[in-house]
């Protein structure tokens, strides 16, 4: 079949598309003049009286067209007209693609045929178009007029290829899912392999729209949007470019474009300007290994992963918002620039000097491994591990030698500072040894909770992309089954069959026999120390980055606030704090329990741990204490006496109700009982003790009281508006009291950022009050007139009634106090700003049957809510089941209950899925 | 102000007339029976008769148009004559007489297509999709009223939703009567969330509209208590307030919808003065959510419902125990 030539045309009316963006551009390419359809916002900007102050050059891939960039176009125009930097967007359709010119072809495309427009040609085409268009705006050549490239799919490589050859004019580069390199040892991705298989190619790509259809399913697109993407490819005659593009994928060294792709890959590594990589990990073609390869070439690149996204990530996620926020962080608009200068003058210079946010008189925190090093000759007990049978006790001297040997062994094996090491080891001596060995050489520990389940752990580990995995057998088996990245190290030596099966190279035991190296590299304080994953109760688990300075600051908090010092004996039943013993010089004892099942901790186990470590402190979770209290009758005389020696009981992970505090006091009669509040991003933020809980209960406030900010933590409030969003401006002191808001915290020991989530990090740390670094917690509630913090839920669970926003936690506490109710969730249904307030009650543990609550109960609760809060409770429903989070089994999934309630209250089935 | 109220023999119309008189206005009423509103000038007749309408509008500075044929069933011609023809007659006569204000009382059913309404504002009237003759003809009537809106003839449309209260024969008395005889069914789970409007609040909203229409006009507003409730719960409470026991008769939704269709058809064949016990429209109304965004209504009218649902139920209970 012949494919006739056709000049560029303009698209028809399409959703989200402004025809004023469309223009036809004639440009001189090396093989002559060609016509291009280009998305260019210049006319629209000038119509609004705006002259470009920066230019974004965008290039689509295959088989999309510049329609891919419509939301970026819209967002740049909106930003420009609301006072931000005026970015012009230039996004050409490639030749043979979109609405650009169709070149004449005599035959269907094949990899070796001359009918294919090659990578090198396409970069020249792009150059021809953008050079022509940049010349139109007078300021484009100015020093303060940044020019930034962005690309997707093969447009990513092409735009990067152009950027690295024009570093004199390009200020930054952005790419969505793409690939610049096809490793010789890895097969090309299966879907492409099928398409490329010889005679299949023209059929799949040109003669039918199979390739187009498959690609458009790699995102959640409406039928109208799919139609718009298909618009320029209605007939086989118009689809030659789709096949041509596929035919030009350099699958092996013999391919005509292979050398060019190699050259681009090499050139990219020399690109020193800022870069941003935006990734959808569910892409079946542009796999994780291409991201890894790009990050190695562009180590300066910021990364943002949309964990749930596939290839067409900019269709499902706010990529335009991310790009604009990143650009404004790199190139502040003229009006922002003064503010930014002011900010940087007061900003804490680096994570290495975190004293700005800590108490003024506290000494600078020590390095995480300093005490361990100082005690290298100390024969006293450092750590006791009851998880091993028999219990294993090691001295400081032993711990120093083991960690130093493992550290030396890791270096010999090839572990580099900054390498990530996924830890699949339960708390105890082995984890302590592996962790401190890594800390010594600057390797970064990656810790994801087994509570995430295999899928969640796989997603977390893949996003952290560790070079190494240290694991016990169950962890290593999981890693193999789900094909996790990283070279494998077992804890104990494995037999040959197991080693081969799990691709394990060595073991901690073997590494611990390595002769010491003379000098281990000392990691700088601002280097990453650990990536801790959140529980993932609100979307995919996020990796939280902690530097060495952050960990040191956290250890210092335990000393300053809870008097955990060198020589203190502590029972470590709560994982995050269990790891800090060696950093503080405290003797930590791991009790006999399953960490993922805190309910397995018995009173006897805790007492034995106290005796073994001569402990004076106990750290555990409320679920663990509940079981300890329940099994206290089993304690013998000695064990009881040991418990009586405890001075401090710390309960972390969830709030502790007054009656549990009382039960704990029965077991530990001489201890002060504290329940700090925190989160993965800031483990210790506020604290309340037993007297405080009793005192708070007297006030009649609604919600869960978590006490006052601890020494070194600054607390601010971002008030919540009628749409349920938290304000940009922070309130502190009296102004922040008695109003609903999101808690925003600042402290030396909070997170440094989220891992590979540039935008999430930027948004969570967007405040700059008093020149501090803040963290938006996403937790909401009130601060009372005595400065106590009352939690009322998560920001996304705020109910936006016409009377104003309502925090669910406060009303739940009120409803739960009714004798007929065991637990409840307060949710909003309907559109934001006019939501109906609904109480959902758990049927379990009550005599209620699912559906509408009985009239008298509904009336009683409605009257109570109206009396206390003034809100109108539209309905009271009884749910057949109550979904809660995996890790704590305590956080009620209000979002799922809200969806169920909305369905039931619209006439849907009561027994429907929750 | 001199105000003409049409349809003042009904509960809402007569209550509005009384409230306006009590507020010191000069009120003329137009309906087929005496309004019973003391102090009003009653013009007896139909809104379909131009000369009667012109007479009722003499000297008026505002007109509140409540007259309508309200029923689940009946001859389409009757609905058209009153709800479309009557409205056109009234609008033309008012414009001819130079009356500057019209408060047109419509119904949320004009925009209800049978789907759930969850926190939406007043959508545009849709005669082609409205369910049943009443809704269809009220939708067309609303179009006529809104199309006439101008700076000199200011029109506000109010759509009160499911009004109830002492003296209401449409909903309140029927629920109580049926519950007393054990014939009040609860459809499905009874949890479909619906907005309602206590009668006193309806009256005050209309009075407020007469003040508001000078500044804001040319739009339709749904008027409710802003307190959505599960339909089953509300019906039960109304029944109890009326001295009946809590309805226990439960009917699954799908059979009810089917039964509604059948009953409608059978009813059409016979001669009945009464409404059919169940129609498909009613079954839909009782098994799907319909509650509304009241923010625009509050903003335009500068009005808030004074009597809450719970207070309204107390008032109802007192009314029936007296």
Please report whether residue B316 resides in a domain. no
pLDDT band at B256 (very low <50, low <70, confident <90, very high): low
pLDDT band at B263 (very low <50, low <70, confident <90, very high): low
Please report whether residue B141 resides in a domain. yes
Give contacts of B291 with chain A, Cβ < 8 Å.
830, 836
If interface means Cβ-Cβ distance under 8 Å, which residues of chain B face chain A? 116, 118-120, 188-193, 226-230, 232-233, 236-237, 240, 246, 253, 287-289, 291, 293-295, 298, 308, 310
pLDDT at A114 over 90: no
Mean pLDDT of B73-80: 84
pLDDT at B182 over 60: yes
Residue the block writes with tokens 């484009």 = A140
pLDDT score recorded for residue B135:
87
Clarify whether B320 is annotated catalytic.
no
Mean pLDDT, all residues of chain B: 88
Question: Which chain B residue lies closest to A871 (C-alpha atoms)?
Answer: B227
Write the pLDDT tens digit of every residue in A581-632: 999 999 999 999 876 777 889 999 999 999 999 999 999 999 899 999 999 9
d(CA B322, CA B319): 5
Mean pLDDT of B256-268: 57
Q: Among the residues of A375-495, which ranges form H helices? A: 396-413, 429-441, 453-464, 473-481
Write the pLDDT tens digit of every residue in A699-731: 988 889 999 999 999 999 999 999 999 999 999
Mean pLDDT of A866-890: 84
Between A388 and B268, the more confident residue is A388
Helix axes A396-413, A429-441, angle to 10 degrees: 60
User: Which range among A83-97, A165-179, B173-187, B275-289 shows the weakest confidence by mean pLDDT?
Assistant: B275-289
Q: Choosing among B122, B224, B282, B289, which should be mutated to test the A contact, i.e. which has the most A CBs within 10 A? A: B289
Q: Are B91 and B102 in contact (CB under 8 A)?
A: yes
User: Which range among A250-264, B101-115, B266-280 shows the weakest confidence by mean pLDDT?
Assistant: B266-280
Mean pLDDT of A867-871: 91
Which residue among A834, A862, A863 places its CB closest to the CB of B295?
A834
Q: How far is CA A114 from CA A4, A104, A248, in A?
A: 16, 12, 11
Domain housing B8: 2-165+195-225+291-306
Burial of A565 (0-12, 13-18, 19+ CB in 10 A): exposed
Q: Extract the runs of DSSP E, i.e. beta strands, from A165-316.
A: 172-175, 275-279, 302-305
Contact at CB, B193 and A905, closer than 8 angstroms: yes
d(CA A800, CA A783): 20
Following DSSP, what letter does each residue of A711-747 receive, concatenated?
Answer: TT-EEEEEEB-TTSPBPSS-B-GGGGBTS-EEEEEE-
The active-site residue, picked from B47, B108, B134, B140, is B134
User: Which range among A494-498, A510-514, A824-828, B173-177 shows the weakest confidence by mean pLDDT?
Assistant: B173-177
- HEC secondary structure over A607-634: HHHHHHHCCCEEEECHHHHHHHHHCHHH
Contact at CB, B230 and A910, closer than 8 angstroms: no
Please report whether residue B233 resides in a domain. no
Contact at CB, B193 and A910, closer than 8 angstroms: no
Q: Which of A232, A239, A238 is nearest to A210 (CA)?
A: A239
Q: Are B279 and B259 in contact (CB under 8 A)?
A: no
Q: Extract the runs of DSSP E, i.e. beta strands, from A49-139.
A: 54-59, 87-92
Please report whether residue B105 resides in a domain. yes
User: Which range among B21-35, B164-178, B198-212 shows the weakest confidence by mean pLDDT?
Assistant: B164-178
Give contacts of A836 with chain B, Cβ < 8 Å.
119, 193, 228, 291
Mean pLDDT of A404-427: 95
pLDDT band at A94 (very low <50, low <70, confident <90, very high): very high
Q: Are A741 and A720 in contact (CB under 8 A)?
A: yes
pLDDT at A97 over 60: yes
Which residue among A859, A863, A907 places its CB closest to the CB of B289?
A907
Q: Are A62 and A242 in contact (CB under 8 A)?
A: yes
Q: Are A76 and A41 in contact (CB under 8 A)?
A: yes
Please report whether residue B50 resides in a domain. yes
CA distance B284 to chain A (A): 10
d(CA A749, CA A96): 55
Interface ipTM = 0.91
User: Which range among B44-58, B188-202, B238-252 shows the weakest confidence by mean pLDDT?
Assistant: B238-252
Write the pLDDT tens digit of every residue in B32-45: 888 888 999 999 99
Between A147 and A344, the more confident residue is A147
pLDDT band at A356 (very low <50, low <70, confident <90, very high): very low
pLDDT at B134 over 80: yes
pLDDT score recorded for residue A398:
96
Following DSSP, what letter does each residue of B184-199 receive, concatenated?
Answer: -EEETTS--EE--EEH
Contact at CB, B191 and A851, closer than 8 angstroms: yes
Using the Cβ of A804 and the Cβ atoms of chain B, whether some distance falls under 8 Å is answered with no
> What share of chain A in percent tops pLDDT 90?
78
d(CA A826, CA A840): 6
Helix (H, G, I), strand (E, B) or coil at B115: coil
pLDDT score recorded for residue A889:
56
Q: Are A31 and A117 in contact (CB under 8 A)?
A: no
* Parallel, antiparallel or unpaired: strands B2-6 and B26-31: parallel
Give contacts of B118 with chain A, Cβ < 8 Å.
829-831, 902, 906
For the record, the structure tokens of A817 come out as: 């106090």
pLDDT band at B277 (very low <50, low <70, confident <90, very high): low
Contact at CB, B119 and A863, closer than 8 angstroms: no
CATH number for the domain spanning B68: value is 3.40.50.720
Mean pLDDT of A69-83: 96
d(CA A649, CA A629): 13
Give contacts of B189 with chain A, Cβ < 8 Å.
851-852, 904, 907, 909-910
pLDDT band at A254 (very low <50, low <70, confident <90, very high): confident
User: Which range among A743-747, B6-10, B109-113 shows the weakest confidence by mean pLDDT?
Assistant: B109-113
Please report whether residue B231 resides in a domain. no
Q: Among the residues of A135-232, which ranges form H helices? A: 154-164, 190-196, 200-202, 210-216, 223-230
Helix axes A319-330, A70-81, angle to 10 degrees: 50
Q: Are A548 and A556 in contact (CB under 8 A)?
A: no
Please report whether residue B109 resides in a domain. yes
The pTM for the full model equals 0.88
> What share of chain B in percent tops pLDDT 90?
61
pLDDT band at A349 (very low <50, low <70, confident <90, very high): very low
d(CA A148, CA A91): 12
Helix (H, G, I), strand (E, B) or coil at A659: helix
Q: Are A682 and A714 in contact (CB under 8 A)?
A: no
pLDDT score recorded for residue B273:
46
Using the Cβ of A832 and the Cβ atoms of chain B, whether some distance falls under 8 Å is answered with no
pLDDT at B184 over 90: no
Question: Which chain B residue lies closest to A860 (C-alpha atoms)?
Answer: B310
pLDDT at B298 over 70: yes
Contact at CB, B293 and A834, closer than 8 angstroms: yes
- Count other C-beta atoms under 10 Å from residue A538's C-beta: 17
Q: How far is CA B213 from CA A91, A510, B216, in A?
A: 50, 87, 5
d(CA A372, CA A581): 10
pLDDT at A362 over 70: no
Mean pLDDT of A373-401: 94
Please report whether residue B172 resides in a domain. no
pLDDT score recorded for residue A347:
39
For the record, the structure tokens of A329 come out as: 């962080």
d(CA B87, CA B80): 10
Which residue among A874, A877, A904 places its CB closest to the CB of B229?
A874
* Parallel, antiparallel or unpaired: strands A87-92 and A54-59: parallel
Write the pLDDT tens digit of every residue in A141-169: 888 899 999 999 999 999 999 999 999 99
pLDDT score recorded for residue B130:
78
Inter-chain contacts counted by CB atoms under 8 A, chains A and B: 86
Using the Cβ of A902 and the Cβ atoms of chain B, whether some distance falls under 8 Å is answered with yes
Degrees, nearest 5: CA angle A127-A132-A136: 140
CA distance B25 to chain A (A): 33
Contact at CB, B236 and A858, closer than 8 angstroms: no
d(CA A690, CA A883): 30
Number of domains, chain B: 1
Contact at CB, B119 and A830, closer than 8 angstroms: yes
pLDDT band at B57 (very low <50, low <70, confident <90, very high): very high
Contact at CB, A906 and B192, closer than 8 angstroms: yes
Helix (H, G, I), strand (E, B) or coil at A865: helix
Contact at CB, B227 and A802, closer than 8 angstroms: no
Q: Choosing among B119, B123, B179, which should be mutated to test the A contact, i.e. which has the most A CBs within 10 A? A: B119
pLDDT at A332 over 90: no
d(CA A173, CA A158): 12
CA distance A834 to chain B (A): 6
Mean pLDDT of A774-792: 96
What A33-36 contacts at long range (C-beta under 8 Å, 24+ apart), as own/partner pairs, is: A34/A95, A34/A100, A34/A101, A34/A103, A34/A125, A34/A128, A35/A7, A35/A8, A35/A100, A35/A101, A36/A8, A36/A92, A36/A93, A36/A95, A36/A100, A36/A101, A36/A125, A36/A129
pLDDT score recorded for residue A343:
40
Which residue among A836, A852, A904 places its CB closest to the CB of B291?
A836
d(CA A386, CA A914): 40
pLDDT score recorded for residue A352:
36
User: Which range among A348-362, A676-690, A766-780, B124-138 shows the weakest confidence by mean pLDDT?
Assistant: A348-362
d(CA B120, CA B139): 18
pLDDT score recorded for residue A335:
53
Which residue among A833, A855, A904 places its CB closest to the CB of B236?
A855
């Amino acid at each position: 079949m012949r494919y006739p030539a056709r000049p560029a045309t303009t698209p028809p009316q399409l959703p989200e598309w402004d025809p004023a963006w469309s223009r036809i551009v004639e440009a001189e390419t090396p093989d002559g003049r060609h016509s291009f359809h280009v998305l260019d916002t210049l006319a629209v900007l000038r119509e609004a009286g705006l002259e470009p102050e920066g230019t974004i050059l965008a290039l689509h891939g295959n088989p999309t067209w510049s329609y891919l960039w419509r939301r970026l176009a819209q967002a740049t125009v909106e930003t420009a007209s609301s006072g931000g930097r005026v970015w012009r967007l230039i996004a050409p359709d490639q030749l043979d693609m979109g609405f650009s010119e169709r070149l004449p072809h005599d035959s269907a495309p094949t990899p070796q045929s001359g009918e294919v427009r090659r990578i090198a040609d396409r970069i020249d085409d792009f150059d021809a178009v953008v050079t022509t268009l940049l010349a139109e705006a007078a300021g484009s050549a100015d020093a303060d007029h940044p020019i930034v490239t962005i690309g997707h799919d093969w447009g990513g490589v092409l735009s990067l290829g152009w950027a690295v050859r024009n570093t004199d004019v390009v200020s930054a580069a952005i790419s969505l899912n793409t690939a610049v390199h096809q490793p010789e040892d890895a097969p090309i991705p299966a879907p492409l392999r099928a398409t490329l298989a010889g005679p299949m190619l023209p059929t799949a790509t040109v003669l039918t729209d199979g390739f187009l259809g498959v690609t458009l399913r790699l995102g959640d697109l409406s039928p109208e949007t799919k139609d718009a993407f298909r618009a320029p490819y209605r007939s086989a005659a118009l689809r030659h470019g789709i096949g041509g593009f596929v035919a030009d994928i350099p699958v092996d060294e013999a391919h005509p474009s292979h050398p060019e792709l190699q050259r681009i890959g090499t050139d990219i590594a020399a690109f020193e300007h800022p870069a941003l990589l935006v990734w959808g990990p569910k892409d079946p073609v542009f796999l994780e290994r291409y991201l890894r390869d790009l990050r190695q070439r562009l180590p300066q690149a910021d990364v943002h992963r949309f964990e749930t996204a596939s290839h067409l990530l900019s269709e499902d996620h706010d990529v335009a918002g991310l790009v604009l926020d990143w650009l404004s962080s790199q190139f502040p608009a003229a009006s922002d620039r003064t503010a930014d200068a002011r900010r940087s003058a007061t900003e804490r210079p680096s994570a290495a000097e975190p004293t700005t946010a800590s108490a003024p008189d506290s000494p600078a925190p020590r390095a995480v491994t300093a005490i361990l090093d100082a005690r290298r000759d100390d024969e006293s007990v450092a750590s006791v591990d009851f998880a091993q049978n028999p219990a294993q006790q090691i001295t400081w001297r032993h711990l120093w030698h083991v960690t130093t040997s493992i550290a030396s062994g890791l270096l010999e094996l090839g572990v580099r500072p900054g390498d990530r090491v996924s830890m699949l080891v339960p708390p105890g001596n082995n984890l302590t040894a592996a962790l401190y060995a890594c800390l010594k050489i600057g390797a970064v520990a990656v810790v994801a909770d087994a509570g995430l389940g295999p899928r969640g752990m796989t997603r977390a580990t893949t996003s952290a992309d560790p070079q190494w995995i240290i694991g016990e057998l169950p962890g290593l088996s999981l890693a193999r089954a789900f094909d996790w990245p990283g070279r494998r190290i077992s804890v104990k030596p494995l037999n040959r069959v197991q080693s081969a099966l799990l691709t394990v190279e060595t073991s901690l035991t073997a590494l611990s026999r390595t002769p010491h190296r003379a000098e281990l590299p000392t990691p700088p304080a601002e280097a990453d120390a650990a990536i801790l994953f959140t529980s993932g109760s609100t979307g995919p688990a996020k990796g939280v980055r902690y530097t060495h300075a952050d960990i040191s600051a956290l250890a210092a908090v335990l000393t300053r606030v809870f008097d955990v010092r060198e020589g203190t004996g502590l029972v470590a039943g709560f994982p995050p704090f269990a790891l800090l013993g060696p950093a503080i010089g405290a003797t930590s004892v791991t009790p006999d329990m399953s960490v993922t099942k805190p309910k397995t901790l018995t009173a006897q186990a805790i007492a034995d741990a106290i005796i073994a470590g001569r402990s004076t402190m106990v750290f555990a979770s409320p679920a663990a204490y509940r079981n300890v209290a329940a099994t206290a009758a089993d304690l013998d005389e000695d064990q009881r006496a040991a418990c009586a020696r405890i001075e401090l009981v710390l309960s972390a992970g969830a709030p502790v109700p007054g009656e549990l505090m009382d039960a704990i006091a029965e077991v530990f009669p001489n201890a002060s009982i504290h329940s700090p509040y925190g989160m993965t991003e800031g483990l210790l933020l506020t604290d309340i003790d037993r007297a405080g809980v009793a005192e708070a209960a007297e006030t009649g406030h609604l919600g869960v009281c978590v006490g006052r900010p601890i020494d070194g933590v600054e607390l601010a409030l971002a008030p919540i508006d009628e749409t349920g969003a938290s304000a940009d401006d922070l309130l502190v002191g009296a102004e922040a009291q008695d109003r609903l808001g999101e808690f925003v915290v600042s402290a030396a020991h909070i997170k440094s950022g989220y891992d590979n989530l540039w935008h999430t990090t930027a948004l969570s740390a967007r405040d700059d009050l008093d020149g501090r670094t803040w963290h938006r917690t996403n937790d909401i509630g009130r601060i009372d007139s005595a400065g106590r913090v009352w939690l009322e839920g998560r920001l996304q669970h705020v109910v936006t009634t016409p009377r104003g926003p309502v925090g669910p936690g406060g009303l739940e506490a009120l409803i739960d106090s009714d004798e007929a109710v065991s637990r409840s969730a307060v949710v909003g249904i309907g559109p934001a700003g006019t939501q109906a307030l609904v109480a959902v009650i758990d049927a379990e543990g009550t005599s209620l049957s699912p559906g509408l609550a009985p009239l008298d109960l509904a009336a009683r609760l409605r009257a109570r809510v109206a009396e206390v809060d003034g809100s109108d409770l539209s309905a009271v429903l009884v749910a057949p089941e109550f979904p809660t989070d995996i890790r704590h089994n305590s956080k009620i999934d209000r979002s799922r209950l809200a969806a169920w309630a909305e369905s039931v209250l619209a006439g849907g089935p009561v027994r429907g899925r929750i | 102000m001199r105000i003409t109220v049409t349809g003042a023999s009904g509960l809402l119309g007569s209550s509005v007339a009384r409230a306006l008189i009590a507020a010191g206005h000069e009120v003329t009423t137009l309906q087929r029976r005496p309004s019973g509103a003391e102090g009003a000038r009653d013009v007896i007749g139909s809104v379909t008769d131009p000369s009667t309408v012109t007479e009722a509008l003499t000297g008026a500075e505002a007109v509140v148009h409540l007259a309508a044929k309200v029923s689940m069933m009946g001859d389409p011609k009757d609905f058209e004559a009153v709800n479309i023809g009557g409205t056109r007659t009234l609008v033309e006569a008012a414009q001819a007489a130079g009356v500057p204000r019209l408060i047109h009382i419509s119904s949320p059913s004009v925009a209800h297509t049978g789907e759930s309404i969850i926190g939406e504002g007043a959508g545009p009237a849709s005669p082609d999709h409205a369910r049943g003759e009443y809704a269809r003809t009220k939708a067309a009537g609303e179009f006529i009223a809104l199309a006439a809106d101008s700076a000199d003839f200011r029109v506000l449309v109010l759509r009160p939703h499911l009004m109830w209260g002492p003296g209401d024969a449409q909903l309140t008395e029927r629920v109580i009567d049926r519950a007393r005889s054990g014939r009040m069914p609860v459809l499905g789970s009874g949890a479909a969330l619906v907005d309602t409007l206590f009668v006193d609040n309806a009256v005050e909203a209309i009075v407020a509209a007469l003040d508001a229409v000078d500044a804001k006009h040319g739009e339709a507003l749904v008027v409710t208590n802003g307190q959505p409730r599960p339909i089953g719960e509300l019906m039960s409470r109304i029944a109890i307030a009326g001295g009946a026991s809590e309805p226990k008769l439960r009917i699954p939704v799908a059979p009810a919808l089917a039964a509604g269709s059948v009953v409608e058809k059978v009813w059409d064949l016979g001669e009945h003065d009464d409404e059919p016990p169940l129609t498909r429209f009613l079954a839909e109304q009782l098994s799907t959510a319909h509650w509304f965004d009241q923010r625009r209504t509050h903003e335009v009218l500068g009005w808030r419902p004074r009597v809450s649902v719970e207070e309204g139920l107390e008032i109802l209970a007192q009314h029936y125990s007296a």
